[in-house]
Homo-oligomer: A and B are copies of this chain.
């Protein structure tokens, strides 16, 4: 008879909510523990402390994923912080919701500019490839 879920590598089947060490999340997301701590210094994540040791939960992993995607999109960490804080901020009152909706609009404008740039770059790349292939064909 197997012991009931002492396997640390299968956390999702545990009764208690799963948690991870700094090394585990770092490895999983392909960054160093130093990077994770840096994000904590900037207030982008705030893992639980068990004594002095950091304990990461699903919420922290979600935020880390958002951070890394933001980075891939070229946003500075400070801006990323305002974004994910926006997602998490309490928005009970109408005034707060209005503010959040304004921020959303700003974000979208920015993202859509990036999308245009991206489409342009991809289009140019396609055209350039076409010309290269044509040149290559003429050489045969």
Chain A interface residues toward B at CB < 8 A? 69-70, 72-75, 87, 91, 93-94, 97-98, 100-101, 104, 107-108, 111-115, 117-118, 120-122, 125, 128-129, 132-133, 135-136, 139
Q: Give A78 Cβ to nearest chain B Cβ, in Å.
A: 15
A97 to B139, CA, bound (A): 10
A109: min CB distance to chain B, Å:
11
- In whole angstroms, how far apart are the Cα atoms of A133 and B135 in the complex? 54
CB of A80 to closest CB in B, whole Å: 11
In the complex, chain B residues whose CB is within 8 Å of the CB of A135: 91, 97
Q: Report how far A97 CA is from B97 CA in the complex, Å.
A: 54
A75 neighbours in B (Cβ, 8 Å): 74
Q: How far is the CA of A73 from the CA of B128 in the complex (A)?
A: 19
Q: Is A111 touching B97 in the complex (CB atoms < 8 A)?
A: no
